[in-house]
A and B are shown apart, each in its own frame.
Chain A
Amino acid sequence: MDMNTIESTIRTTDPGCWRPGDAWLAGGTVLFSYGSSVLRRLLDIGAAGWTPITVSEGGIELAATCTVAELYALPERAETPAQTDSPAQPDLPPQPNLLAQPNLLAQWPALALIRLCCDSFVASFKIWNMSTVGGNLCTALPAGPMTSLTAALDGIATVWTVDGGTRAVAVEDLVIGDGTTSLAPGELLRSITVPAEALRSRTAFRRLSLSNLGRSGVLLIGRRDEDGAFVLTVTASTKRPVKLRFAPSSTVPADDGGVPTAAHLRAALDAAIPEELYHDDIHGLPAWRRDMTYRLAEEIRAELVTDSSSTTGA
């Protein structure tokens, strides 16, 4: 919708330019959807020219301005790096850094989460042409699929501060409540880096919604790392991401390496998620979200306790 209070749109990525009444404009799909009666300026980072996706041996860096459509196309590039886009995908600018790294991508089974998470958007593929990974994180909705994805994969956000500095923050410490982030006024999310260790893990994905292809009411991602660690990330059902990490050396009794028993997983959920942390809105009653969190967590635990190496989703 029109934002009639906006007096100017300025192309900048400098947090030093920010002043009260300003908003960072990435894809615009959230700002223009909700509208505003208080904002005066939009600071447009859309033309920053940041490389959307940078692949290295250390992992993947997603620019805040990487569109969901660009991210969605990544696994396909991993599978068939020499091919051009299939006609089903939106046109994308060439990404030489990516195409040079097909072998790395093939070693990262957790890339399968990308499409599962993109398809968890209630918004359709049309919105993906504009909306960005960074915008989804900064909106900080409990059901934000990019929060689910990057939190589950130990994503670290790089934030540009108003004094010209840079700080790093884990995604689960960036998204700290329903619509709330730990960003100070004026701070700009520059990118999210997902480490290769997490990408090499075996993963399991579970999601429930009150409607078919609707907004997530519960979204859980499990990870089994190469060192045997089990990591469970709860999103959508809770107001903020909740991560449970069971290290292989953990003192918690486990029935297979780092994977806890069903009882210990339940106990860990009990401890990590108090009643009031379950989200309450039109997309699911808290009592349902809670029970489904336990149900899906156990499904994920049971799946990852086995030696199978495929990633599955529901």
Chain B
Amino acid sequence: MTSQKNGMKINGTFTDIQPRPGQCLRTFLRERGNLGVKKGCDGGDCGACTVHVDGKPVHSCIYPAVRAEGRQVTTVEGLAGPDGLHPMQEQFLAAQGFQCGFCTAGMLMTAATFNSEQKENLPRNLKGNLCRCTGYRAIEDAVCGVSHVSTTGQQAGDNVGAPAGLAVVTGTARFTLDVPAAEFPGLLHLKILRAPHAHARILSVDAAEALAVPGVQAVFTHEDAPAQLFSTAQHEGYLDDPDDTRVLDDVVRFIGQRVAAVVADTVGAAEEGVRRLRVHYQVLPAVFDPEAAMKAGAPVIHGEKEPLQTRISRPQNNVVAELHSHLGDVQAGLAAADFVYENTYRTQRVQHAALETHASIAYFDDAGRLVLRTSTQVPFLVRRALCRVFDLPAEKVRVVCERVGGGFGGKQEMLTEDIVALAALKLQRPVQLEYTREEQFTAATTRHPFRIKVRAGARSDGTLTALAFDVVTNTGAYGNHAPGVMFHGCGESIAIYRCGNKRVDAHAVYTNTVPAGAFRGYGLSQMIFAVESTMDELAVGIGMDPMEFRRRNIIAKGDVMLSTQPEPEEDVILHPDSYGLDQCISLAAEALARGRDRERAAGVDDPGPQWLVGEGSAVSMIDTVPPRGHFAHSTVALLPDGRYQASVGTAEFGNGTTTVHAQLVATALGTTADRVRIVQSDTDVVEHDSGAFGSTGTVVAGKASLAAAEELARMLLKFAAVSSSADVSDCRLDASTVICAGVRIPLVELHRQAETAGTPLVAQGQWGGSPRSVAFNVHGFRVAVHSGTGELRIMQSVQAADAGVVVNPMQCRGQVEGGIAQALGAVLYENVVVGADGAVETKILRQYHLPTFADVPRSEVYFAKTTDELGPLGAKSMSESPFNPVAPALANAIRNATGVRFSELPLARDRIYLGLRDAGLPEAGSAQQVQRGGSIHVRSVGQVAAVD
């Protein structure tokens, strides 16, 4: 410990700048330029801000900065020594122990302090570090020194490391707010006053006291906001979502909605300004339950809006969107069934909890253009939306993001950009807004809660005779993604089953609660929970093995896929070589059987008294691309140094598409991925890109990059052939050269010649996202459930994925593992609780348990051997879909173990225990009375009991 007075050493450099009295060490370090110190939660829960103080790891967000006086502080920037990277940094690179990389600095700084004893108990010692992307397997491998990155292969099919890897492990990868303040002279900070009422009209806002706060520059209210209605949801066409939102509205429709914005020189002054605003509200009646909201006489939330203009189905009934379809004859199908199953399934609100909160900076470039630097999955769509709302031409707005700290669909919304743009346009100064973790929970978006009533029938021979669903989704106060989530949810989940009689009635409904939005799976996970639980019950009801029952009813090669329309989607094409569902089912079943045998051989198959063991599985299907077009443009150019640059629109937020693009381009150009530089997610670099959602980073944007690279390869060969007077058929690309009739011409030389000749060696590629294919996932669990406490142990977790040709197996495995982990959180614990007054009660990560290292079991991941002729080099999408089969697979395993059907999420230990207790499950010592395979009668736990 140093004894320097009035100062501290940061990474060896003394500073005598005094922290503010209430400042935490995290912001003090960031203000000194240590931007590798991240804010994930700002409350001591996630560990992303971990630094060393006198060698001890601490969470700098809850460390009083004044306490660091006289001490030595080390941040990730100071971890590497004079001889190069710290071994833990090397290990995180070799194992690729990250996806988005936002948690990585904290992980490294924690793990770098571990001795061998601590490494043996990572569940305990890493429980203070949350990762939302990986599912922790890759992190465990990194900490333990397991290497995965290919040291030789650098093309498609190889385990190429992420191009940003070195920057991520050294803390120099720039996320949205990781920019020195000096880059934005005069930067102002914006804070938002949020509604205390679930439904109220704003009668007046008195800003006098706020404006008197030193440093406060301006206050903006609905009177300053454009009248243009829009949706925070971003799609290729804005007509997909209802226009029901204003930048600042004179009516607030949920607790947490924007009321006014205060812009000030500092965050502290803006906060004080917010506290001093005086607002008069006329409180209006509110409704929180979607079924109550549809009833006559319920408070009307968007009643003043005109349905056709705003595309709200029935504003007076709070119905944003609805779907009514009937294929065949469900009544006849039920009548023909030997077993009919009815139940009601419910899924809860879940938050994305990306570690990087929503944030953006609006500023002006030298040409006077408005520039948004933001954390988004959809920079091009945000530009369109800003232009529409503020009536600006596209050439006057640029939207750019660098690395994004996790998305999961939450950043397919415009939640911060519009308000900072408004402030910047009014003040003509740069303005920044950074959401707090509390704002993420109370004022961003969630997954849509679904209520799904099911009626289904089957014949004893295993024929599915009828499937009927009555679905109500709760979109909250605004309809962003409400139609899309509802329609998509009722699509592939149902189309995967061949059944002549299908009926769907679905409503997406407004309530005075925090809005729901896009979230990994986009409605499918909710519906698949109900559909796959139902298939299990039908199988039990007719006495058939559930997977055998599925095998008899799933679509096969050549079958049409129907859900709610009499004709199949015309642009969804499943070629026989791309059909992998049968393989996935076999891979998962075989893996579970091997696990069973392993446990038996090891003598660990019986966990003891009161533990009930069971297995369950579920299947899922997803279209590889969203409907109605998804566009990508790419440009690939030969650089003067003989390397390539690919300019792409799609963003990197841990999805790994940057790596995949480099591999695809390298493969087409006969070179290696490390010779391809990717420039991305900037409206200046390509013409247009619909964005990274709907699992499109590889299958749409990658296809555009591959096309551009292939075109450039042809240009290069032709140019080289002319240059060397060889026949083009005698020329081939080889790493940094073109070999023409046996003679190597360096690419550097070709570039020089092309420049001289005035022939730019640049090629364009594009893809419109249609036609599309489908991808499959099958998940299987073996679980043990303790009937006395409700404790659930996952003994085995397996997932088989049909990803087509896997471009990067290491990364694709990571996507699957991360999807499983996120789904397990949603199945087991996560729940955004809305209280009786409509306020979100779970506002910090300690109240919203994200899966920790200790919670996530290792999953076995298998890939089907398929190839898709629509995807780049045969690849299919694989980022959303691994989430989808997890919840029903787990519920089915619990059903198999206990005989009790749980139809409501989450399946936390308290709910499991109470469900078993209320179903009369025998207590201690009588576990053997419950037989495997569900041969006892069905007992259902949920708000509506099973009828059979």
Interface residues of A (CB under 8 A from B): 1-9, 25, 28-29, 32-35, 37, 39, 41-42, 44, 46, 87-88, 90-91, 119, 122-127, 129-130, 208, 210-215, 217, 281-282, 284-285, 287-289, 291-292, 295
Contact = CB atoms under 8 A, between A and B. Distances in A.
Contacts of A9: 21-22, 64, 66
A44 B66 CA distance: 10
Contacts of B23: 2-3
B852 A28 contact: no
A91 B71 CA distance: 14
A213 B852 contact: yes
A291 B913 contact: yes
Interface residues of B, number: 68
Contact of B24 (A32, A127, A211, A288): A32
Interface stretch (B53-61, B278-286, B616-624): B53-61
Given A2-B22, A124-B127, A285-B914, A46 B67 contact: yes
A125 B914 contact: no
Nearest to B106: A126
A211 B67 CA distance: 33
B539 to A, nearest CB: 30
Nearest to A25: B64
B848 A282 contact: yes
A91 B842 CA distance: 36
A42 B64 CA distance: 10
Contacts of B331: none
B607 to A, nearest CB: 15
Contacts of B908: 210
A3 B811 CA distance: 40
Given A285-B911, A288-B913, A291-B917, A42 B22 contact: yes
B50 A126 contact: yes
A213 B791 CA distance: 13
B854 A213 contact: yes
A47 B272 CA distance: 30
A276 B857 CA distance: 36
20 contacts: A1-B42, A2-B27, A2-B267, A3-B23, A4-B22, A4-B267, A7-B21, A9-B21, A29-B62, A32-B64, A34-B43, A35-B42, A91-B55, A126-B57, A127-B58, A129-B57, A212-B854, A213-B852, A291-B917, A295-B789
Interface in B864-898: none
Given A32-B24, A126-B110, A285-B910, A1 B846 contact: no
Contacts of A34: 43, 844
B169 to A, nearest CB: 20
B340 to A, nearest CB: 32
A2 B64 CA distance: 9
B326 interface: no
Contact of B831 (A90, A282, A292): A282
A127 B64 contact: no
Contact of B117 (A1, A88, A295): A88
Contact of B62 (A130, A281, A285): A130
Nearest to B833: A282
Interface string B19-43: 0111110010000000000000011
A126 B128 contact: yes
A127 B789 contact: no
Contacts of B63: 28, 32, 130
B44 A123 contact: yes
A288 B914 contact: yes
Nearest to B55: A91
Contacts of A287: 910, 914
Interface string B46-87: 010010001111110111101100000000000000000000
Contacts of A8: 21
Contacts of B765: none
A4 B24 contact: no
Interface of B: 20-24, 27, 42-45, 47, 50, 54-59, 61-64, 66-67, 110, 115, 117-118, 123-129, 266-268, 271-272, 275, 436, 788-791, 828-829, 831, 833, 841-842, 844, 846-849, 851-852, 854-855, 908-911, 913-914, 917
B60 to A, nearest CB: 10
Given A2-B23, A32-B61, A130-B63, A211 B55 contact: no
A110 B63 CA distance: 32
Contacts of B788: 295
Contact of B22 (A6, A215, A282): A6
* Shortest 3 CB-CB contacts between residues of A and residues of B: A124-B128, A6-B22, A4-B268
Contacts of B831: 282
B62 A33 contact: yes
A29 to B, nearest CB: 5
Contacts of A4: 20, 22, 266-268, 271-272
A125 B125 contact: yes
Given A42-B21, A215-B846, A37 B57 contact: no
Q: Which of A29, A215, A281 has the most CB of B within 10 A?
A: A29
A207 B227 CA distance: 56
A3 B44 CA distance: 14
Given A214-B855, A282-B833, 17 more contacts: A1-B42, A5-B22, A9-B22, A28-B67, A32-B24, A34-B844, A35-B42, A39-B22, A87-B117, A91-B56, A126-B56, A126-B110, A130-B58, A130-B62, A208-B909, A282-B848, A287-B910
Contacts of A2: 20, 22-24, 27, 267-268
Contact of B790 (A122, A129, A288): A288
A90 B268 contact: no
Contacts of A41: 21
Contacts of A35: 42-43
B140 to A, nearest CB: 15
A250 B848 CA distance: 45
A289 B54 CA distance: 41
Contact of A37 (B271, B790, B846, B852): B271
Given A1-B24, A2-B268, A285-B914, A28 B64 contact: yes
B123 A213 contact: yes
B128 A32 contact: no
B123 to A, nearest CB: 6
B828 to A, nearest CB: 7
A287 B266 CA distance: 47
Given A4-B267, A6-B21, A291-B917, A210 B43 contact: no
B125 A210 contact: no
B59 A127 contact: yes
Contacts of B24: 1-2, 32
A12 to B, nearest CB: 14
Nearest to A289: B910
A212 B123 contact: yes
A295 B910 CA distance: 14
Nearest to B56: A129
Contacts of A29: 44, 59, 62
B124 A213 contact: yes
Contacts of A127: 44, 58-59, 62, 128
A211 B127 CA distance: 11
Contacts of B45: 33
Contacts of B64: 9, 25, 28, 32, 42, 44, 46
Contacts of A284: 910
Nearest to B857: A212
Contacts of A1: 24, 42-43, 61-62, 436
B909 A210 contact: yes
A35 B128 CA distance: 19
Given A34-B43, A125-B128, A215-B846, A87 B790 contact: no
Nearest to A29: B62
Contact of B789 (A125, A126, A208, A211): A208
A87 B847 contact: no
Nearest to B275: A37
B803 to A, nearest CB: 30
A210 B62 contact: no
A214 B45 CA distance: 12
Contact of A124 (B47, B54, B66): B47
